[in-house]
Amino acid sequence: MSFQYSDEILRRFRNPKNAGEIKNPDGIGMVGNRSCGDVMHLYIKVENNKIVDAKFKTLGCAAAISFSDLLCDMVKNQNIEDALKLTKDDLVKKLGGVPAPKLHCSLLAVDALHKAIEDFKNKK
């Protein structure tokens, strides 16, 4: 099965600049999707309640990689409260839409962010 991806999804998929791991992160979020089996790790670095760095590692599809890469860009330099307001619809809009069967991939990134923030708060 092939999907019609937006140019922005393809651009981020081919060159995800936020892929990787943060050494000594302040929070880690790990989530998986039962239907497709994909797994996502999201790492955040926090200073003075502001996310100063975010990176991701995923065993996921092109959409999951693009959503995660964008999410990392969007939460950098945001405070925790504002980052928690980010929705999958925000991501979908910024990526120029996504094929319907790939909508769940955006949730993976958002859920991983929430888990990473929860982990950060628990460590404080």
Please give the residue ranges that form the binding site for ligand FES (CB under 6 A).
33, 36, 38, 60-61, 63-64, 102, 105, 108
Annotated catalytic residue within 44, 63, 105, 116 = 105
Annotated catalytic residue within 36, 52, 62, 84 = 36
* Residue among 36, 47, 35, 44 at smallest CA distance from 68: 44
For the CB of residue 106, give the shortest distance to ligand FES in the complex, in Å: 9
Instruction: Using the minimum distance from each CB to ligand FES, give the nearer residue, 50 or 99.
Output: 99
CA distance 111 to 46: 18
Instruction: Using the minimum distance from each CB to ligand FES, give the nearer residue, 110 or 116.
Output: 110
What six digits make up the tokens of 62?
């092109």
Instruction: Using the minimum distance from each CB to ligand FES, give the nearer residue, 26 or 111.
Output: 111
Instruction: Using the minimum distance from each CB to ligand FES, give the nearer residue, 78 or 99.
Output: 99
Is residue 61 among the annotated active site residues?
Answer: no
For the CB of residue 71, give the shortest distance to ligand FES in the complex, in Å: 13
For the CB of residue 62, give the shortest distance to ligand FES in the complex, in Å: 8
Instruction: Determine the residue type at 2.
Output: S
Is residue 72 among the annotated active site residues?
Answer: no
Give the other-Cβ count within 10 Å of 22's Cβ: 17
Long-range Cβ pairs for the range 10-15 (8 Å, 24+): 10/62, 10/66, 12/65, 12/66, 12/69, 12/70, 12/95, 13/62, 13/63, 13/65, 13/66
User: Which residues participate in catalysis according to the annotation?
Assistant: 36, 105
